[in-house]
């Protein structure tokens, strides 16, 4: 006998669990199926984000940043430390506790919102004659669910280099990179994207010699060029060795470590020998185990679930969100799509504005942006004005002892509408929210320039960058 629901969500990451909660709030009898297992084989909802992504990476970034501060900048504050040491086991234990708190939090939210949770793999069995979908759950207990609406939120997996499968011992995906039991003396990173820079920073701060090999000739190509150049300079000074324009030929793991044969930007053959290698060259949408063929679910050429602008698949009443579909692979993008889909099922007009999705790279300094980069505006021929303000001239940044970076505004030359905001500097992840709000309300740079910002605060740099658009900064 199958269990009947209005909405079944497959996948309990940020896209899926948020969609399930919103659907339940809207009065639908909702189930969420997720197969992630914790170390004891029990449920661990939250997906990549909670288990091997956003949350554990930020926990380790925090621990390693404390360690770096203790070793390098505490002395400036008059704090003397001797015999500074790092207990990696304890750091990982803390990270695991943070992850578990988030897993448990989601299970609590399911109960609170009366979402039925099923731990196991969900796969399509068939579309019924009555217009429902039958979904099998293969888990601790086998179940069959039936629902009118299905939301697919099956996430993504790390992309491996051809011929160099992840063993999570020497060749690491994000998963292995987050649970190294000791600091490797030498660490290689392939791909200088978000994961490469965040995880490379963690292990560099803890003492590893880190070399990053990147295929593209430009560093952080999606980031505003001026910000990316600044980032490259700062990360190199911190000790990350970044080689651009490389071509990886062969990766071999042995008992002594990993050897990477590659060609440098000049086409010269090189070998990098490292203790551990993180491969962070992007992620692939995941549809493994869904049994998409049983119902004729269409995938696109990248293997993502094909959807339209409203997250509708080719099948009636089947929707898909998050990393499994087109668009940026970000937790908050997945969440917004989950909410929008639940609202569309309820006949409402859920909407996700891709132009105001913020990006953050949680390095130190952090990099955050929203909207268009200067190079995108140039390419599109849009007339714009730019204004920048350095943290060096911000009182709070001086008091914090962190004056690296800047805030940069890009606004339409005629209307002054904000087209993009780019930040590299302390707490950029928090500062970017003001820009997201401003752009969502179609504010002008002058609107931000005329708003009272608390003193002393880092947000004054945002106000000053907005003033700089009109060439009238007050403190620089």
The interface with ligand NAI within residues 136-195 (CB under 6 A) comprises 161, 190-195
Q: Determine, following the binding rule CB under 6 A, whether residue 12 of this chain makes contact with ligand FAD.
A: yes
For the chain, the 3-state helix, strand and coil shares in percent, each to the nearest 5, are 35, 30, 40
The interface with ligand FAD within residues 192-221 (CB under 6 A) comprises 195
Adjacent-strand bridge partners of 462: none
Q: Pick from 438, 435, 383, 443: which is nearest to 407 by CA?
A: 435
Q: Could you give the string, one character per residue 251-290, with x where binding to ligand NAI holds by CB under 6 A and - elsewhere?
A: -----------------------------xxxx-------
Determine the Cα–Cα distance for residues 210 and 180; give it in Å rounded to an integer: 14
Count CA atoms within 13 Å of residue 109 on its CB side.
Answer: 21
The interface with ligand NAI within residues 372-431 (CB under 6 A) comprises none
Q: Determine, following the binding rule CB under 6 A, whether residue 350 of this chain makes contact with ligand FAD.
A: no
Largest CA distance in the chain: 74
Please say which residue, 165 or 216, places its beta carbon nearer to ligand NAI: 216
The interface with ligand FAD within residues 46-105 (CB under 6 A) comprises 47-49, 53-54, 57
Cα-Cα-Cα-Cα dihedral sign, residues 316, 317, 322, 327 = positive
* Among ligand NAI, ligand FAD, none, partner that 282 touches (CB below 5 to 8 angstroms by kind): ligand NAI
Q: What token pair was written down for 268?
A: 């010269």
Burial 138-149 (b: 16+ CB within 10 A, else e): ebeeebebbbbb
User: Which stretch, 65-73, 341-349, 360-368, 448-456, contacts ligand NAI (CB under 6 A)?
Assistant: 360-368
Query: Among residues 69, 119, 422, 455, which one is catalytic?
Result: 455
The interface with ligand FAD within residues 104-123 (CB under 6 A) comprises 121-123
Q: Determine, following the binding rule CB under 6 A, whether residue 43 of this chain makes contact with ligand FAD.
A: no
Kind plus residue range of the DSSP H or E element containing 150: strand 143-152
Candidates 215, 299, 392, 413; binder of ligand NAI (CB under 6 A) is: 215
* Among ligand FAD, ligand NAI, none, partner that 350 touches (CB below 5 to 8 angstroms by kind): none
* Among ligand FAD, ligand NAI, none, partner that 13 touches (CB below 5 to 8 angstroms by kind): ligand FAD
CB of 64 to ligand NAI, least distance (A): 15
DSSP string, 349-414: -----GGG--EEE-SSSEEEEEE--HHHHHHHT--EEEEEEEGGG-HHHHHHT----EEEEEEETT
Q: Determine, following the binding rule CB under 6 A, whether residue 303 of this chain makes contact with ligand FAD.
A: no
Q: Determine, following the binding rule CB under 6 A, whether residue 234 of this chain makes contact with ligand NAI.
A: no
Candidates 93, 289, 328, 401; binder of ligand NAI (CB under 6 A) is: 328
Q: Determine, following the binding rule CB under 6 A, whether residue 33 of this chain makes contact with ligand FAD.
A: yes
Please say which residue, 334 or 341, places its beta carbon nearer to ligand FAD: 334
Q: What token pair was written down for 235?
A: 């990360």
Adjacent-strand bridge partners of 406: 390, 424
Candidates 115, 360, 367, 458; binder of ligand NAI (CB under 6 A) is: 360
CB of 82 to ligand FAD, least distance (A): 34
Q: Which residues contact 464 (CB under 8 A, 6 or more apart)?
A: 389, 393, 394, 407, 473, 474, 475, 476
- 77 catalytic per annotation: no
CB of 85 to ligand FAD, least distance (A): 26
Burial 230-262 (b: 16+ CB within 10 A, else e): bbbebbeebebbbebebebeebebeeebbbbeb
CB of 287 to ligand NAI, least distance (A): 17
Determine the Cα–Cα distance for residues 394 and 365; give it in Å rounded to an integer: 15
> Are β-strands 257-263 and 247-254 bridged in parallel, bridged antiparallel, or unpaired?
antiparallel
CB of 327 to ligand FAD, least distance (A): 10
Q: Catalytic residue numbers?
A: 455
Please give the residue ranges that form the binding site for ligand NAI (CB under 6 A): 161, 190-196, 198, 213-216, 248, 280-283, 328-330, 360-362
Please give the residue ranges that form the binding site for ligand FAD (CB under 6 A): 10-16, 33-36, 47-49, 53-54, 57, 121-123, 153-156, 174, 195, 286, 289-290, 322-324, 329-332, 334, 362
């Amino acid at each position: 006998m199958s269990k009947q629901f209005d909405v079944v969500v497959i996948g309990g990451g940020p896209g899926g669990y948020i969609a399930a909660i919103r659907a339940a709030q809207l009065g639908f009898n909702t189930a969420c199926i997720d197969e992630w297992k914790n170390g004891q084989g029990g449920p661990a909802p939250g997906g990549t984000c909670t288990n091997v992504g956003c949350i554990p990476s930020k926990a380790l970034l925090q621990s390693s940043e404390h360690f770096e501060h203790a070793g390098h900048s505490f002395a400036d504050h008059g704090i003397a430390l001797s015999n500074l040491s790092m207990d990696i086991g304890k750091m990982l234990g803390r990270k695991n506790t943070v992850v578990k708190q988030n897993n448990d939090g989601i299970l609590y939210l399911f109960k609170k919102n009366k979402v039925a949770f099923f731990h196991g793999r969900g796969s399509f069995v068939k579309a019924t004659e009555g217009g429902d979908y039958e979904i099998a759950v293969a888990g601790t207990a086998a179940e069959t669910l039936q629902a009118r609406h299905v939301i697919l939120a099956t996430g993504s997996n790390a992309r491996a280099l051809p011929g160099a499968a992840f063993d999570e011992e020497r060749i690491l995906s994000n998963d292995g990179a987050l649970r190294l039991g000791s600091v490797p003396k030498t660490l290689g990173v392939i791909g200088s994207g978000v994961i490469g820079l965040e995880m490379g920073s963690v292990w560099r701060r803890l003492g590893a010699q880190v070399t990053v090999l990147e295929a593209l000739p430009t560093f952080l190509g999606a980031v505003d060029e001026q910000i990316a150049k600044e980032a490259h300079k700062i990360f190199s000074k911190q000790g990350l060795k970044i080689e651009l324009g490389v071509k990886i030929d062969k990766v071999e793991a042995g008992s002594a470590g990993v050897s990477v044969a590659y060609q440098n930007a000049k086409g010269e053959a090189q070998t990098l020998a490292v203790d551990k290698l993180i491969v962070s060259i992007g992620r692939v949408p995941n549809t493994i185990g869904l049994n998409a063929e049983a119902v004729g679910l269409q995938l696109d050429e990248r293997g993502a679930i094909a959807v339209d602008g409203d997250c509708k698949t080719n099948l009636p009443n089947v929707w898909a969100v998050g990393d499994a579909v087109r668009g940026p692979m970000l937790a908050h993008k997945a969440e917004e799509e989950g909410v929008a889909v639940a609202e569309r099922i309820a006949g409402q007009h859920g909407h996700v504005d891709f132009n105001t999705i913020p990006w953050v790279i949680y390095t130190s300094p952090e990099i955050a942006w929203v909207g268009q980069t200067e190079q995108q505006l140039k390419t599109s021929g849009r007339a714009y004005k730019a204004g920048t303000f350095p943290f060096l001239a911000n009182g709070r940044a001086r008091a914090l002892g962190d004056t690296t970076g800047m805030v940069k505004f890009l606004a339409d030359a005629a209307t002054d509408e904000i087209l993009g905001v780019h930040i590299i500097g302390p707490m950029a992840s928090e500062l970017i929210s003001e820009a997201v709000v401003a752009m969502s309300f179609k504010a002008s740079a002058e609107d931000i320039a005329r708003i009272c910002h608390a003193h002393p605060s880092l947000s004054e740099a945002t106000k000053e960058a907005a003033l700089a658009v009109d060439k009238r900064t007050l403190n620089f």
